[in-house]
Structure 1
Amino acid sequence: MPPATPAADNTRAALTMVASMAFFAVEDLFLKRSAEALPPGQVLALTGAAGACVFWALAAGQRQPILSMEALRGMPLARTLSEAVAAVLYILALALAPLTMTSALLQASPLVVVAGAALFLGETVGWRRWASILVGFAGVLVILEPWGAGFDPTGLLTVACVLVLAVRDLTTRVMPARIGTFQVATWAYLGLVPAGVALMAGMGQGFVPPTPGQWAGLGGALVSGLFGYYAVVAAMRLGEVSVVAPFRYTRLVFAMAIAMVFLSERPAGTTLLGAGIVVGSGLYAFARARKRASPVA
């Protein structure tokens, strides 16, 4: 069999990325239904504990140490804390806000990361990409409609989540290369357990024994999330980042379809318009980044 060409690798990587976004959209559905039926903090703690067990086993198979003081200082600690805070905000957003709006706002995350990389990591971002970032932020305002009667303050939970996710991604970029992927994933999931317990305490909620159906929903969230995580890592390793990364936006398509079919949501026109602006801005930013990288390559 002849070796795969770069174009073929990019095609496989793009399809894998699309599959990962579909898994994450399914995970969001399971998490939303679980967080509506059970205390959101409990959902977070249970999924964190289960995910940590899975990634701990994977890390052990690759001889990546988990019980290390390195996890409790510097960038690894900052990443774990930002992951935990983002997860708290996101599970609350899933429980309280429409899935269509939450998914649309989440698409602004790559733009915030680009802005953060320019401001805090010294990466070069030209005026065109800065313009696309500002247009994307305008799309966020269109989704939120803070000037109208349709303003839903629960959308601010996702906006805050996007900002904290940018911190997580930026700290990931500057972490030492010797720290393995499964180590990072295990620490992130372990951090969700105390975060979930703290959220339950803050909301004055106790443990609610899940029904068999609710256990199945939590299991569905765990399995779909793990498949999504594996697929996104495989996609980024298989193809060129500039080619594969824009396919992250397919998550919005899957999420809106799922919300309409299973949750009977009907996204407002402003949500669709704002989502289109955000996605278009992000795709333009990716295109500009790829164009700038081509002469260097």
Structure 2
Amino acid sequence: MRVRGPFVCQEPVMSDNLRGSLFMVLAMCGFAIEDMFLKRVAGAGMPVGQVLILFGGGGMLAFMALARAQGQAIWHPAVVQPRMLVKAAFEVTGRLFYTLAIAYTALSSASAILQATPLVVVAGAALIFGESVGWRRWAAILAGLGGVLVILRPGLEGFSAASILAVIGLLGFAGRDLATRAAPKVLSNFQLGIYGFAAMVPTGAVLLIWQGGAQVPDGAQVAQLVAAVLIGVYAYWALTLAMRTGEVSVVTPFRYTRLVFALILGVLVFGERPDALTLIGSAIVVGAGIYTLLGTRRQVLRRAAN
């Protein structure tokens, strides 16, 4: 509180939802910048398998340091439970194919396809966990997947087979998110981060053998990989803080700002020029995702009222 003359002025206080939303925007900005650095490193000639090894190893070490700083154990027996192994398999699939997608396709289109992840998660939650999803949200899910097809444009002149890599990455990340719901509660977010990044190392090693071996990175590549790790860890921290600060139904729609940052970076850094179909498909995916999330919020509020 601040006193100014005879008047008393109340200092503005930022709400939890506003803080959570800002952290979500910062997280999405961080993930988009991380993707940009990884694309630049791969575009400079480093094999994607080597990128995964170095990025996964760096992220693993960073989360190990964070876990130890919080007094958490690096190893927990729960990591070998079947549910965690399923999560690791999806994590590897998502990270491997999405990294290949941003390496071989436009950052803007790969990021646009990735925005359908929440739609697939909602559909998976209904089919696997039996969660209630009304016909309106099913219609929104189908519309969002239709938006992905608009971006892919199968059968048309602009179709790129490499775009399928982003679709497989999307399915991997959606499966990871669903598996995370069933992950043992005894594992902290930092511990989950350790194991998620660690899984990239052997995956990258197998891919690197297939690609024919590693190369000696130059100073610019090392600097960009370090930046990708640091920004990626920061983005993960901001994402966790966002989800724990505000209401999930309010904060989650701001995930879609990642597409805005990816479009800007794609244009400014890589000279990409998204065409009309990519922009239309992106708008459909984002609109369907926000509608689905708002529908989920209304359902939660109705349950609370009853």
Same fold (TM over 0.5): yes
Partner of 2:276: 269
Partner of 2:213: 206
- Separation in 1, partners of 2:171, 2:69: 34
- Residue 85 of structure 1 and its aligned partner are, at CA, apart by 1.8
Partner of 2:169: 161
- Residue 189 of structure 1 and its aligned partner are, at CA, apart by 0.8
The 5-angstrom pairing of residues 141-156 of structure 1 reads: 141-156=149-164
* Shift in alpha-carbon separation, 1:13–1:3, aligned structure 2, 3 A: farther
SS in 2 for 1:154: helix
Match of 1:250 among 232, 253, 257: 257
- Separation in 2, partners of 1:223, 1:103: 20
**Residue identity (%):** 45
1:206-232: CA deviation from partner (whole Å, max 9, x where unpaired): 111110111111111111111111111
SS in 2 for 1:150: coil
Residues 93, 168 of structure 2: 8 Å contact kept: no
Partner of 1:8: 15
List alignment gaps of at least 5 residues for structure 1: none
Residues 17, 247 of structure 1: 8 Å contact kept: yes
- Residue 36 of structure 1 and its aligned partner are, at CA, apart by 1.7
- 2:146 aligned with 1:138, yes or no? yes
- Separation in 2, partners of 1:172, 1:3: 40
Residues 92, 172 of structure 2: 8 Å contact kept: no
Partner of 2:228: 221
- Separation in 1, partners of 2:85, 2:221: 32
Match of 2:64 among 39, 51, 56: 56
Which amino acid is the alignment partner of residue 167 of structure 2? V
- Separation in 1, partners of 2:71, 2:24: 27
TM-score (norm 1): 0.96
- Separation in 2, partners of 1:191, 1:41: 12
- Residue 68 of structure 1 and its aligned partner are, at CA, apart by 3.3
- Separation in 2, partners of 1:278, 1:26: 21
- Separation in 2, partners of 1:65, 1:214: 32
List alignment gaps of at least 5 residues for structure 2: 2-9
* Shift in alpha-carbon separation, 1:3–1:163, aligned structure 2, 3 A: farther
Partner of 2:136: 128
Partner of 1:114: 122
- Residue 64 of structure 1 and its aligned partner are, at CA, apart by 2.8
The 5-angstrom pairing of residues 166-245 of structure 1 reads: 166-203=174-211, 205-245=212-252
TM-score (norm 2): 0.93
- Residue 70 of structure 1 and its aligned partner are, at CA, apart by 2.4
Partner of 2:43: 36
SS in 2 for 1:214: helix
Residues 85, 195 of structure 1: 8 Å contact kept: no
Tell me which structure has the larger Cα radius of gyration: 2
- Separation in 2, partners of 1:46, 1:185: 15
Give RMSD over aligned pairs: 1.5
Partner of 2:4: none
115-124 vs 78-87, which moves further: 78-87
